[in-house]
Structure 1
């Protein structure tokens, strides 16, 4: 489905696309669909290996010529799109072919069995010894039972293969909904969850959202490198995942921003949870894996807002975002709710 100005994903996608195009222009990279796919994924931050590869090329002042760009696409983008589809398709064809063969065998065996029993019956009419007839009939029945057992085993094996394929498809779907760096839900899963939560909220159930941003993250990245920055993001994601309730959805919103959607929670409940998250992160000790060095503590700013019946989800996120930036403007390492936006507006 094409994005529109009403799509809550539009602003995010447009921002990422703009950064990708600007960077491509700076690197003098032709704006082809393949190149754009690479750089869009790079700035979306959802593919660690791709980002590390590009960062390494930039650090070594390597030119992004046509061959390099093609290699990046074929190595990191194309396999994600095609490998799972091709593998699943081939396995399904193999299972369906085997099942078709089993069915054909079963039909042929059934005809053979009916013919053999019919012949035994004809022999009975001609006065053949009853003992011989019983022996022949028992033999045919035993052969039929053997064939049935063999077919049953074959179908059971293919059923297990179908279970494996179904599990593989389920895992592929889960990967498609998960941010690879943090393990949290990605924007696709977030948007689906918000749409469903909005329906319930329009029936009167409260719905609140908190938006979390790591303070001075760019400075931290510049000082200690992207690898350590990634470690910090994973730590923030773990804290968020541990603190939210089972019915909530923690997700990566973009860059160093994380989000949590809380169905059934009013503004006060969400703000209380946000404060617990803020304190837990402030108390974290971060150690550099390569050296064992203890790094400076990290703090986060959090904005909180509650859904208003009938409004667009983008409006809810926008209020949450403004609360977040009010928290940053107020000194960082704090939680600000939309109520304080109203106070700030009245004071202004």
Structure 2
């Protein structure tokens, strides 16, 4: 941690303890990739690592929901117990009326008594039904809360894009389909000179830029694709049923669209310098770990950076460059 200049916070200790314990392969691969490419472990990257790989999945919402469900089940049991007891009382009262009928009691009195018991039973049933309807509404609220909680757990708070957890889940499913012969490609996008931009204009403006990049990415990929935040200023898109050429075309559309964006500083109205991005593109090779696919994207991305930025580089160009050099 000292070597990587990582602050000794509890969350950072948790990350690196798991890294050296070797019990979390995905975490180890992610950190190794960052180290191999000399990526800084800034506060945003550290937070992404913690939220993606370390943070417990049981949130405060889940705990609260569990408590509400316990209370709801307790109320339901009480309702059912009341219904059973009322049913027994009603049956007993009707049996008594029947016995009185056998004993020759005035039929008018028996009818009045029976009507009274039935009215009481109807009142109890109405109260019971109202109680169950109330608890059903409460159950709907709990279900909606769980759905929203799950959505938040899969969403990056800054950009609104799916996060690394959602990306990993989507990649696993896409890989399964690709192993049966469907093409699968990935593009990895990095904002050019983003650190300088942050230093000159501040992190608030940097966050505004990231949100804009996320919006463009979301708009330019297809409905079946998954755009996500990979970490820091890097965004990623997974494109099922897309070969390298199709993915490259989409990457070029994204690059051009971002270059055409006008970014205005909200506080002053100042028009900021044009933002450009470098993009690496690679296609899945059946049977390979998805980490290898993303690693090729990353290497292609860095070739784009080294070649002058504001360009798309595919794994084919990467292979030629590595063969030549």
TM-score by length of 2: 0.85
- For 1:220 and 1:152, the matched residues in 2 are separated by 62
Tell me what 1:10 maps to.
28
For residue 134 of structure 1, the aligned residue among 106, 111, 124 is 111
Structure-1 residue corresponding to 2:46: 43
Q: Distance in 1 between matches of 2:245 and 2:192?
A: 23
Q: Does the alignment pair 1:262 with 2:262?
A: no
Name structure 2 gaps, 5 residues minimum: 1-17
Q: Aligned-pair distance for 1:135?
A: 2.1
Change (3 A) 1:256 1:40: closer
Superposed counterparts of 1:150-299, under 5 Å: 150-299=127-276
Root mean square deviation of aligned Cα: 2.6
Distance in structure 2 (CA, Å) of the matches to 1:41 and 1:120: 77
Return the alpha-carbon distance in structure 1 between the equivalents of residues 24 and 72 of structure 2.
44
**Displacement of 1:81:** 6.1
C-alpha change, 1:315 and 1:336, in structure 2 (3 Å) is same
Partner of 1:343: 320
Alpha-carbon distance, 1:14 to partner: 5.7
Q: How many residues align?
A: 299
Alpha-carbon distance in 2 for matches of 1:271, 1:115: 79
CA deviation string 1:248-302 (max 9, x = no partner): 1111111000000001111111000000000110000001111111110100000
Q: Which runs of 4+ in 1 moved over 6 A?
A: 39-42
Matches within 5 A, 1:14-25: none
Q: Which residue of 1 aligns with 2:60?
A: 83
CA distance, structure 2, for counterparts of residue 228 and residue 271 of structure 1: 29
Hey, what's the Cα distance between the residues in 1 that align with 2:69 and 2:128?
19
CA distance change for structure 1 residues 227 and 179 in 2, over 3 Å: closer, same or farther? same
Distance 1:5 1:125, change over 3 A: closer
SS at match of 2:211: helix
Change (3 A) 1:100 1:244: same
Q: Which range moves more in the overlay, 219-228 or 80-89? A: 80-89
TM-score for the superposition, normalised by structure 1:
0.80
For the structure 1 residues 14 and 340, does the alpha-carbon distance in structure 2 shift closer, same or farther, using more than 3 Å as the test? closer
Counterparts in 2 of 1:9 and 1:185: CA distance versus 1, 3 Å: farther
Q: Give 1:37-76 correspondences, 5 Å limit.
A: 43-45=46-48
For 2:15, the equivalent position in structure 1 comes to none
Q: 1:117 aligns with which of 91, 94, 107?
A: 94
